[in-house]
Structure 1
Amino acid sequence: MEHQDIIEIGQLLAKYAVSITRNDIDSLLEVFTPDGTYSAFGEVYPLAEFPALVEAAPKGLFMTATPLLDINGDEATGVQNLCFVEDATHHMRIGYYNDTYVRTEDGWRLRTRAMTFIRKSGAHDSGRPHSHAR
């Protein structure tokens, strides 16, 4: 595993967290490949639907941990813990992302990102259906 790859993927994921916290959709979309997807709420959303999904979601602070990465040439997988704090209430949601990455001409990008929520019961699931209209 190349040290530079670890740094670059880490910065990519930092851009994701900062961009979504600041509601900067253009920067957020830049971290994905054009065919990238986001999975949550029992659905897989193509990149074209991601802005509407983010718009419908609560706003707040996305705090992410250092990802656990498995890099194999120009592809990689990873898991990254998340703590989301809603701005209006300071209620928290916790969980983790399961990711796939690919090295592109523009550097590493997310190909897939799948959210798993950790419930108070200890259950791990993809969440309740979102208010995003498909």
Structure 2
Amino acid sequence: MASLEQRIQRIEDELAIGQLRARYCHLLDDRDWPAFVELFTPDGVFQGLEAVRGHAALMEFFSQRVPKLAEDFWHFCTNGTVEIDGDTARGRITLEYLSATNGVSHVSAGHYDDVMVRQGGRWRFQSRVITFYYLAPLSQGWAGRPFPGR
């Protein structure tokens, strides 16, 4: 059985990882690129629309290319799971993503698969891989048709 100190450390790690994931959404939506990039390890990887590695590539991708893909966006993450093994953690978290592109509102959902590491006492993303389930104009609905009765 784990000691009290180990159990408290586990709780503190889970809370810190939850804060890391929340900051990711807030900093991304606020387009605070310097703070956002610091959420990743120096060789951190983001894989979504394309794969980028390292702070310089992350900065270029998010500050230059992402704003061209959407005029505005909002990220909502829930149902996070995490398995912690020392200074490494792996988990999945569900994503709802709302955006506006060329004046058209879009809705999408998916999940992130995360590998996080503790470096210098702070949890950071070593890799974050996004899988989208769908992306559709809001007017069409995610299945391409409105809910029944509408």
Does TM, normalized by the shorter one, top 0.5? Answer: yes
Alignment-derived partner of residue 109 in structure 1: 124
| Counterpart amino acid of residue 32 in structure 1 | F
Deviation at 1:106, TM superposition (A): 4.1
Alignment-derived partner of residue 77 in structure 2: 64
| Counterpart amino acid of residue 65 in structure 2 | A
Equivalent-residue separation in structure 2 for 1:19 and 1:44 (angstroms) = 20
1:96-117, Cα deviation, whole Å (9 max, x unpaired): 1001011110411110000100
Alignment-derived partner of residue 139 in structure 2: none
Equivalent-residue separation in structure 1 for 2:12 and 2:44 (angstroms) = 23
Larger radius of gyration: 2
Equivalent-residue separation in structure 1 for 2:84 and 2:121 (angstroms) = 17
Pairs aligned (count): 120
Q: Which runs of 5+ in 2 are unaligned?
A: 1-6, 135-141, 144-150
Q: Matches of residues 1-12 of structure 1 in structure 2 within 5 Å?
A: 2-12=10-20
1:10-35, Cα deviation, whole Å (9 max, x unpaired): 00111110000001101111111101
1:39-94, Cα deviation, whole Å (9 max, x unpaired): 123x4211322223223222311111142001011101010111111145431121
| Counterpart amino acid of residue 119 in structure 2 | T
Q: Which runs of 5+ in 1 are unaligned?
A: 122-134
Runs of 4+ with >6 A deviation: none
| Counterpart amino acid of residue 27 in structure 2 | S
Q: Matches of residues 50-129 of structure 1 in structure 2 within 5 Å?
A: 50-54=58-62, 55-57=64-66, 58=70, 59-87=72-100, 88-119=103-134
| RMSD across aligned positions (CA) | 1.7
Percent of pairs identical after alignment? 28
Higher relative contact order (CA 8 A, sep 6+): 1
Alignment-derived partner of residue 127 in structure 1: none
Q: TM-score with structure 1 length normalisation?
A: 0.81
Question: Are residues 81 and 32 of structure 1, via their aligned partners in 2, closer, same or farther at CA, if it must alter by over 3 Å?
Answer: same
| Counterpart amino acid of residue 46 in structure 1 | R
Alignment-derived partner of residue 53 in structure 2: 46
